[in-house]
Amino acid sequence: MKDFLFSWMSKISGQTYTLAWEEKIFSIFSAGISLFIFLCLFGYLFYKKVWCDLQARKWGILTVSILGAIAVGKFIVYRLWKGYISDRIFFFSVPSPKIENPMWLFLAIFIFLMFLLFRKIIQKFKTRNFLIIICLIFFSFSSSIAGIREGRASIMDPMTRIHWEYTGNIKFIENTRNFLRDYMVLQPKLAVHATNHPPGNSLLVYYFSKIAGGSFFGISILIIFTAGLSVFPLYYLLKNFFDEDIARKLLQVYIFIQSVVMMAGTSLDAFFVTIVWTSIALLFIGWNKSVWLSAIGGVASGVALFSNYLFLLLTPFFLAVAWYFWIKFGYNDRHKLILRILISFSSFLLFFGLLWLWSGYSIIENFIISRSANSEIVISNFESIGSYFTFVIMNILAFGISL
């Protein structure tokens, strides 16, 4: 049987037998048992809670079928082909079902079941208590999901890749001011991922490292907790569109979205997600009714850009928000909107201006150097079309699965 399986894997993958294949077979077998138990439990709950509603039943079957096909596909690709892009182009958001310690899977299921059991009680808590509980559930569930693959090791795995990720820059940071001053000079020596990003994430892991005593696991736990804080700005943003009951229910869905866990819970995207929602909420509410929130929102936007240049992609969104309020305010009140937008933009510029005066760090110079570093990866614009297309597909699929 073993020879047959190895022969089949060799034909599919085009690779010769290696000793590592025996580990793969064991992993596939153990994951299969754990997934079977999970599917039985899920099927039972689906039948009891959803099956009686025809509309919900159709959506449930469609969603489970699509995600199941993607998970199986990713599992096969991950096991048989280790190419980075090939592994992730169509399966970016769904985890490979590798389960070294089933207890982490059972913990995630237990957290979810306890949430269902006490959901109506939690729903009635006062706003502050409700948000704290939701944040803690997010943290607990995200941690358990991150631990499914290899337990504690998979939770801290992104932080251990010091050649590639931001933790590799900690050794260059004696203090914040000197690091910012020397950031462009250090660029060629930085961890690979940091060479085309601003220094915000490097400083964040440095601060977390101080808090966690240099522990990669401690840094990871702090990052996952940071992701959970996103429920606070998101709640106050949702309150502008929905009543209290719907806003709370939407947050309860949000904390269990798998792509949020995968893309934020165990990487530096955690802080980015939180600061982006914070800036969006502050600017939206501020432009609607508050000069002070507009100013704070401008600073939050500066922090978001200082963390990741991807924040620039939200420019069309903020222009759309400005147009929305331009129509809503009417002719007599538009001067208030213009003032608030100008204050936001001024505080955004002030953030980077003060950074430059204090440390000599220039976000513009950093952007130019980062673009050069990025161009070494994607080569010329013409030759990089395939790379751009690949990453566009990856992120569109991630976004679609989260929807």
Task: Show me where the domains of the chain are located.
Answer: 20-99, 101-402
Residues in the chain, total: 403
Rounded average pLDDT over 314-329:
89
Distance CA 81, CA 359 (A): 46
Count CB atoms within 10 A of the CB of residue 335.
10
pLDDT of residue 4: 64
Distance CA 278, CA 294 (A): 12
Rounded average pLDDT over 131-143:
91
pLDDT of residue 378: 54
pLDDT of residue 354: 94
Tokens, residue 126: 């006062």
pLDDT of residue 39: 79
pLDDT of residue 271: 83
Contacts 24+ apart (CB under 8 A), 389-398: 390/85, 390/89, 393/89, 393/90, 394/88, 394/89, 394/92, 395/92, 397/90, 397/92, 397/93, 398/92, 398/93, 398/259, 398/263
- pLDDT, one tens digit per residue, over 30-56 is 667 777 887 788 888 888 887 888 888
Comparing CA positions, the residue from 249, 327, 319 lying closest to residue 283 is: 319
Count CB atoms within 10 A of the CB of residue 318.
18
Rounded average pLDDT over 303-307:
91
Distance CA 270, CA 345 (A): 25
Query: Residue 381: is its pLDDT beyond 70?
Result: no
Q: How confident is the model at residue 300 (pLDDT cuts 50, 70, 90)?
A: very high
Rounded average pLDDT over 120-138:
92
Instruction: Supply the mean pLDDT for the chain.
Output: 80
pLDDT of residue 59: 84
Query: Residue 382: is its pLDDT beyond 80?
Result: no
Q: 193 or 277: whose pLDDT is higher? A: 277
- pLDDT, one tens digit per residue, over 142-166 is 888 888 777 888 888 888 888 888 8
For the chain, count helices (H), then strands (E). 20, 0
Query: Residue 345: is its pLDDT beyond 90?
Result: yes
| pTM for the whole structure | 0.76
Most confident stretch, 91-100, 330-339, 392-401: 330-339
Could you tell me the CA-to-CA distances from 316 to 2, 190, 209, 321, 341 in Å, in that order?
A: 56, 31, 35, 9, 15
pLDDT of residue 82: 57
Place of tokens 């208590």: 129
Rounded average pLDDT over 21-25:
63
Q: How confident is the model at residue 398 (pLDDT cuts 50, 70, 90)?
A: low
Percentage of residues in the chain with pLDDT exceeding 70? Answer: 75
Distance CA 324, CA 14 (A): 55
- pLDDT, one tens digit per residue, over 195-218 is 788 888 889 999 999 998 888 888
Query: Residue 280: is its pLDDT beyond 90?
Result: yes
Distance CA 301, CA 377 (A): 28
Which of 169-178, 240-249, 260-269 has the weakest average pLDDT?
A: 260-269
Query: Residue 357: is its pLDDT beyond 80?
Result: yes
Rounded average pLDDT over 58-83:
73
Q: Is 18 exposed, middle or buried (0-12, 13-18, 19+ CB in 10 A)?
A: exposed
pLDDT of residue 332: 79
Tokens, residue 99: 């389960």
Query: Residue 342: is its pLDDT beyond 60?
Result: yes
Q: Which residues contact 139 (CB under 8 A, 6 or more apart)?
A: 224, 225, 227, 228
3-state secondary structure of 19: coil
